[in-house]
Structure 1
């Protein structure tokens, strides 16, 4: 009997549980055992696994987060990491690993394949920035959350005649800021792919004031930066296990600059981890289910070092190497479309 290990790594998002449920149900239907690896790659390093059954995944499709836990663990940063992984794969007699996450988590899966440990990936990131797939688990739910937040900010901004700067997740790609800004009717959208100009922002605010609009909403991705500086705004100089600094605070920088230049009362709102939480949308649950099933099919067919992906309305697969090679930038045609509305 084949044994499949499944894990979720990196930042969490709604609908991971829907994908885990799909992996378990499809695997059991094929006669495989499924072992849940706790807390991402850390669980495989420490041998922290548990057998998953139908009861394990009953009633979890609507639950946010991940029943397996997660962490930003990079086993290749530990001298004995690869060895520990190999030992525990043999100890639990795993025939394959299904990893759910973004480029960091799936990058580890790709390296394990090179070591001879079969693994496949499932795209899971609210940033929606993985190459080779049109969609990643968690994005639609996060998009709904952020759009709702922008809707709420509109009412208070209008009441107080303020400029509101809302900071949205997106380190290197502005998919979430762009689409939530478009859906929420933001007056300015700032993304990492395009350096912004303070004069342009203030001009837009002034134009709205002249038309009787005494408030403005600015949607900004956390990784956006002005033309005047070459680096992103960070919270800490320290980096995580994958070499990423913690971004945060660009909204406060922008708010302060706008107020200084225009004299208009300006407030910053950082949505932070609210974007990762809560109940997944129906669409997210469906896509997570389809991607989870596809991942098991890849294992069943011996198609390792691949990632389940979405291409149009179809579920397909791409090499993990392609998926993690670079960040998927926003569609600039879509960005130009959004600019028509501000």
Structure 2
């Protein structure tokens, strides 16, 4: 199914404006690059679609509160319109292993489920993901990732993507709803280029998704972080001690700043404000100076938040070199919070001759399957309905987003993924923006002397 070239419209015929991102600067796709890609892919293996009213749905990557609301919002919209809804278990894990020579091994109840009204009602408030999830990535084979359109016509590099197409053809799927993070977005983009009608719903607790102002699960996650920070604040004040809390945020500081604003941390440090390089000893000195400054006002305690993504900006001699199966630095091997707290304690001992009561802890990962907030339920449900609308109207190759009043907006994949490098665009916290300024204005500051 080809994507319509005319302006997208809602079911009522109203034109859907393109989403505005990054301080209302519209991101225009590189049409010349896309034309080149389509030319290269002219001979690629393409999806052989069907007109059956049957839609597939999957959730890929780490879970996030509100995921079931997306599933419910989409599935109910399709069921009400007379569609059959297939939920694929564990993201792409089973799809990428589909064997076209033995298709009957792909079994209902094991690899997929037909979702009915009883499956998708009364689930929007639930934590977890009813169709489960995994980090299976069909765009990676033997740790080699798709990097350019030529890889998509290479049967060895794209074998898992082709398996996905085979499985969906076998199942008679007209279109696919993809729910996931940036890797899942790239997979949706590749499948779209190979002819599969697909719509993507963005998912990340980190809230760093380009093209949408807030992602579902973010506010639930920072609420749980706030509750934890509240306890650590009480502990710190009661015992005259300090805590260094390491929070999620591989690339950006949205999570750390949001949790710090809500939880009233005395300092919150995200990757954006630290530049391209972070020296652990320099950062320890900065926080040590904060400790000394607070003591002038009789405050011998405090909670400092740091983003885990700071580890990626450490110099080679300070960062771990072990990576996970996705090629990302294993933050758990860095012991960043512990090392930072120890360095601060050492500076304090050297300077004052006394021991500083300072400890570290990691906060955040237990929030991924938490019961979602009302906002995340509403946002997730709206994104799910948006996925239905886009597929119904033939708007394949778009991510579902929202604007003011949660009005549904579309963002073309080409605006989210660099057509030359095939890398997704991230939405960093703008350090000149009001959100960052708010966070900094709420940190501890030396009182102005009259």
The normalised TM-score by structure 2 is 0.72
Cα separation, 1, equivalents of 2:396 and 2:329: 31
1:1-342 matches, cutoff 5 A: 1-45=52-96, 46=98, 47=106, 48-78=111-141, 79=156, 80-195=159-274, 197-225=283-311, 229=315, 233-234=319-320, 237-241=322-326, 243-248=327-332, 249-263=335-349, 264-313=356-405, 314-324=407-417, 325-332=424-431, 333=433, 334-342=435-443
The number of equivalent residue pairs is: 340
Cα separation, 2, equivalents of 1:120 and 1:27: 14
Cα separation, 1, equivalents of 2:125 and 2:319: 35
- C-alpha root-mean-square deviation of aligned residues, in Å? 1.9
Q: 1:107 to 1:227 in 2, by over 3 A?
A: closer
Unaligned runs of 5+ in 1: none
Q: CA deviation at 1:239?
A: 2.7
Structure exhibiting the larger radius of gyration computed from Cα positions: 2
CA contact (8 A) 1:20 1:57 kept: yes
Per-residue CA deviation, residues 303-338 of structure 1 (Å, 9 max, x unaligned), is 011010122333211012333421110132222331
Q: CA deviation at 1:26?
A: 0.4
Q: Which runs of 4+ in 1 moved over 4 A?
A: 225-228, 230-234
CA contact (8 A) 1:223 1:232 kept: no
Partner of 2:18: none
Cα separation, 1, equivalents of 2:285 and 2:346: 12
Cα separation, 2, equivalents of 1:4 and 1:43: 17
**Does 18-27 or 202-211 show the bigger shift?**
202-211
**Does 78-87 or 301-310 show the bigger shift?**
78-87
The normalised TM-score by structure 1 is 0.94
